[in-house]
Protein backbone atom coordinates (compact mmCIF):
# COMPACT_ATOMS: atom_id res chain seq x y z
CA UNK A 1 0.00 0.00 0.00
CA UNK A 2 2.83 2.36 0.87
CA UNK A 3 4.43 1.87 -2.55
CA UNK A 4 1.10 2.57 -4.26
CA UNK A 5 0.66 5.84 -2.38
CA UNK A 6 4.22 6.85 -3.25
CA UNK A 7 3.58 5.97 -6.90
CA UNK A 8 0.38 8.02 -7.01
CA UNK A 9 2.12 10.96 -5.33
CA UNK A 10 5.04 10.79 -7.77
CA UNK A 11 2.67 10.61 -10.76
CA UNK A 12 0.70 13.57 -9.42
CA UNK A 13 3.88 15.60 -8.86
CA UNK A 14 5.11 14.96 -12.42
CA UNK A 15 1.67 15.69 -13.88
CA UNK A 16 1.46 18.95 -11.98
CA UNK A 17 4.96 19.92 -13.09
CA UNK A 18 4.13 19.15 -16.72
CA UNK A 19 0.91 21.18 -16.55
CA UNK A 20 2.69 24.02 -14.77
CA UNK A 21 5.29 24.26 -17.53
CA UNK A 22 2.49 25.16 -19.98
CA UNK A 23 0.53 27.29 -17.50
CA UNK A 24 -0.90 30.56 -18.73
CA UNK A 25 -1.66 33.43 -16.41
CA UNK A 26 -4.28 36.19 -16.40
CA UNK A 27 -3.39 39.04 -14.03
CA UNK A 28 -4.62 42.60 -13.48
CA UNK A 29 -2.68 44.13 -10.61
CA UNK A 30 -2.71 47.83 -9.71
CA UNK A 31 -0.21 49.17 -7.17
CA UNK A 32 0.21 45.84 -5.35
CA UNK A 33 3.38 44.33 -3.89
CA UNK A 34 5.41 41.80 -5.86
CA UNK A 35 4.55 39.33 -3.08
CA UNK A 36 0.84 39.73 -3.88
CA UNK A 37 1.53 39.08 -7.58
CA UNK A 38 3.47 35.91 -6.72
CA UNK A 39 0.60 34.69 -4.52
CA UNK A 40 -1.79 35.13 -7.46
CA UNK A 41 0.57 33.24 -9.80
CA UNK A 42 0.78 30.40 -7.25
CA UNK A 43 -3.03 30.23 -7.10
CA UNK A 44 -3.39 30.09 -10.88
CA UNK A 45 -0.56 27.68 -11.70
CA UNK A 46 0.36 25.43 -8.77
CA UNK A 47 3.95 26.72 -8.81
CA UNK A 48 5.65 27.40 -5.48
CA UNK A 49 8.03 30.35 -5.13
CA UNK A 50 11.22 29.67 -3.18
CA UNK A 51 13.51 32.48 -2.03
CA UNK A 52 15.58 33.82 0.85
CA UNK A 53 13.53 36.65 2.36
CA UNK A 54 16.75 38.29 3.59
CA UNK A 55 18.05 38.64 0.03
CA UNK A 56 14.94 39.11 -2.11
CA UNK A 57 12.76 42.17 -1.47
CA UNK A 58 9.18 41.55 -2.58
CA UNK A 59 7.66 44.71 -1.06
CA UNK A 60 8.06 46.89 -4.16
CA UNK A 61 4.69 47.99 -5.53
CA UNK A 62 3.93 47.24 -9.17
CA UNK A 63 1.17 47.47 -11.74
CA UNK A 64 0.95 44.49 -14.06
CA UNK A 65 -1.44 43.25 -16.71
CA UNK A 66 -1.16 39.89 -18.43
CA UNK A 67 -3.72 37.95 -20.42
CA UNK A 68 -3.05 34.32 -21.29
CA UNK A 69 0.74 34.77 -20.97
CA UNK A 70 3.23 32.13 -19.91
CA UNK A 71 4.56 32.26 -16.37
CA UNK A 72 8.06 32.99 -17.68
CA UNK A 73 6.80 35.99 -19.69
CA UNK A 74 4.94 37.36 -16.67
CA UNK A 75 8.00 36.93 -14.44
CA UNK A 76 10.23 38.64 -17.00
CA UNK A 77 7.84 41.62 -17.05
CA UNK A 78 7.47 41.61 -13.26
CA UNK A 79 11.21 41.57 -12.51
CA UNK A 80 12.38 43.74 -15.45
CA UNK A 81 13.01 46.81 -13.26
CA UNK A 82 14.26 44.94 -10.17
CA UNK A 83 17.39 43.13 -9.02
CA UNK A 84 15.50 39.80 -8.93
CA UNK A 85 16.00 36.86 -11.29
CA UNK A 86 13.93 33.69 -11.47
CA UNK A 87 14.59 30.10 -12.45
CA UNK A 88 11.92 27.44 -12.95
CA UNK A 89 12.90 24.07 -11.47
CA UNK A 90 10.09 21.53 -11.64
CA UNK A 91 7.13 22.86 -9.63
CA UNK A 92 9.29 25.49 -7.94
CA UNK A 93 10.34 28.93 -9.06
CA UNK A 94 13.55 30.02 -7.37
CA UNK A 95 13.99 33.76 -6.85
CA UNK A 96 17.45 35.27 -6.33
CA UNK A 97 19.22 38.60 -6.49
CA UNK A 98 20.97 39.32 -9.77
CA UNK A 99 24.71 38.75 -9.66
CA UNK A 100 26.17 42.24 -9.74
CA UNK A 101 29.61 41.08 -10.89
CA UNK A 102 28.89 39.32 -14.15
CA UNK A 103 32.54 39.46 -15.24
CA UNK A 104 34.25 36.32 -13.96
CA UNK A 105 37.83 35.58 -14.87
CA UNK A 106 38.77 32.38 -16.68
CA UNK A 107 40.89 31.33 -13.71
CA UNK A 108 37.88 31.58 -11.38
CA UNK A 109 35.75 29.52 -13.77
CA UNK A 110 38.39 26.78 -13.92
CA UNK A 111 38.59 26.53 -10.11
CA UNK A 112 35.08 25.17 -9.73
CA UNK A 113 33.83 21.85 -8.46
CA UNK A 114 30.54 20.04 -8.05
CA UNK A 115 29.30 19.68 -4.49
CA UNK A 116 26.52 17.20 -3.75
CA UNK A 117 24.70 16.67 -0.52
CA UNK A 118 21.51 16.08 1.38
CA UNK A 119 19.50 18.34 3.66
CA UNK A 120 17.59 16.70 6.51
CA UNK A 121 15.50 18.00 9.39
CA UNK A 122 16.00 17.21 13.08
CA UNK A 123 14.10 13.92 12.63
CA UNK A 124 16.39 12.80 9.77
CA UNK A 125 13.61 13.41 7.24
CA UNK A 126 14.51 15.01 3.88
CA UNK A 127 13.81 18.73 3.52
CA UNK A 128 12.20 19.18 0.09
CA UNK A 129 12.79 22.52 -1.64
CA UNK A 130 15.51 23.86 0.67
CA UNK A 131 17.51 26.72 -0.88
CA UNK A 132 21.21 26.10 -1.53
CA UNK A 133 23.03 29.28 -2.62
CA UNK A 134 26.73 29.96 -3.10
CA UNK A 135 27.68 32.90 -0.86
CA UNK A 136 28.92 35.83 -2.92
CA UNK A 137 27.21 34.48 -6.06
CA UNK A 138 23.48 34.82 -5.33
CA UNK A 139 22.48 33.77 -8.85
CA UNK A 140 24.24 30.42 -8.38
CA UNK A 141 21.87 28.24 -6.45
CA UNK A 142 19.56 25.27 -6.48
CA UNK A 143 16.93 23.56 -4.35
CA UNK A 144 16.77 20.11 -2.84
CA UNK A 145 14.77 17.37 -4.55
CA UNK A 146 12.06 15.13 -3.07
CA UNK A 147 14.70 13.15 -1.15
CA UNK A 148 16.51 16.25 0.12
CA UNK A 149 19.44 15.85 -2.31
CA UNK A 150 21.15 18.60 -4.28
CA UNK A 151 24.07 19.13 -6.64
CA UNK A 152 25.69 22.50 -7.34
CA UNK A 153 28.80 23.66 -9.14
CA UNK A 154 30.70 26.14 -6.92
CA UNK A 155 34.10 27.75 -6.41
CA UNK A 156 36.75 25.61 -4.66
CA UNK A 157 36.57 27.72 -1.48
CA UNK A 158 32.82 28.40 -1.56
CA UNK A 159 30.49 28.73 1.38
CA UNK A 160 26.99 27.33 0.87
CA UNK A 161 24.02 29.11 2.43
CA UNK A 162 21.27 26.61 3.19
CA UNK A 163 17.84 27.93 4.14
CA UNK A 164 14.23 26.85 4.35
CA UNK A 165 11.17 28.58 5.77
CA UNK A 166 10.67 27.65 9.42
CA UNK A 167 14.25 26.43 9.90
CA UNK A 168 17.46 28.10 11.09
CA UNK A 169 19.70 28.89 8.09
CA UNK A 170 23.22 27.48 7.96
CA UNK A 171 26.45 28.42 6.22
CA UNK A 172 28.67 25.47 5.27
CA UNK A 173 32.25 25.91 3.97
CA UNK A 174 32.95 23.33 1.24
CA UNK A 175 36.69 23.84 0.81
CA UNK A 176 38.16 20.34 0.48
CA UNK A 177 34.69 18.72 0.39
CA UNK A 178 32.69 17.31 -2.49
CA UNK A 179 29.81 15.94 -0.41
CA UNK A 180 28.02 17.53 2.53
CA UNK A 181 25.23 16.47 4.83
CA UNK A 182 23.22 19.20 6.53
CA UNK A 183 20.70 18.93 9.35
CA UNK A 184 18.45 21.98 9.65
CA UNK A 185 16.94 22.72 13.05
CA UNK A 186 13.45 24.16 13.40
CA UNK A 187 13.28 27.86 14.18
CA UNK A 188 11.13 27.96 17.31
CA UNK A 189 11.15 31.76 17.69
Identify the structural domains of the chain with CATH numbers, from first to last: 14-97 (3.55.50.30), 106-183 (2.60.40.1120)
Q: What is the model's pLDDT at position 110?
A: 53
17 has pLDDT over 70:
no
Q: What is the model's pLDDT at position 182?
A: 94
CB count within 10 Å of CB 62 equals 18
Confidence of residue 18 (pLDDT cuts 50, 70, 90): very low
Q: How does pLDDT run across 92-105, given as a tens digit for each residue?
A: 888 888 765 444 44
**What does the CA dihedral 103, 86, 64, 47 come to, rounded to 10 degrees?**
180
| Rounded distance between C-alpha atoms, residue 152 and residue 158, angstroms | 11
Does the predicted model carry a pTM greater than 0.95? no
Q: How does pLDDT run across 34-54, given as a tens digit for each residue?
A: 889 889 988 998 888 888 878
Amino acid sequence: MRISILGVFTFFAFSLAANSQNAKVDIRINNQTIQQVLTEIEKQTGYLFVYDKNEVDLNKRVTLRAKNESVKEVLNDLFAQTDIVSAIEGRNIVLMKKDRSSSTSTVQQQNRKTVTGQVLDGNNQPVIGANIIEEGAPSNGTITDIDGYFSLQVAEDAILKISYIGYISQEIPVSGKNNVSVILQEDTK
